[in-house]
Amino acid sequence: MAARGHRQSAFQRTMRRAALPALGLTIMAFFGAYAVLGPNGILAYGDYKKQLMRREKQYAALDQKRAVLKNRVALLDPDHANPDMVDEMVRRELNVAHPDEVIVPLK
Same structural domain, 62 and 24: no
73 has a pLDDT exceeding 60: yes
Domain coverage including residue 88: 43-98
Same structural domain, 67 and 91: yes
Same structural domain, 33 and 63: no
Output 26 or 6, whichever has higher pLDDT.
26
Average per-residue pLDDT for the chain:
83
**Apex 11 CA angle, 6 and 15, nearest 5:** 145
| The model's pTM | 0.47
Stretch 65-80: mean pLDDT: 84
- Report if residue 9 sits inside a domain: yes
- The total number of structural domains that make up the chain: 2
Same structural domain, 53 and 89: yes
- Report if residue 106 sits inside a domain: no
Same structural domain, 60 and 33: no
Contact 37, 43 (CB under 8 A): yes
- Report if residue 65 sits inside a domain: yes
Query: Strand runs (DSSP E) across 1-107, as ranges?
Result: none
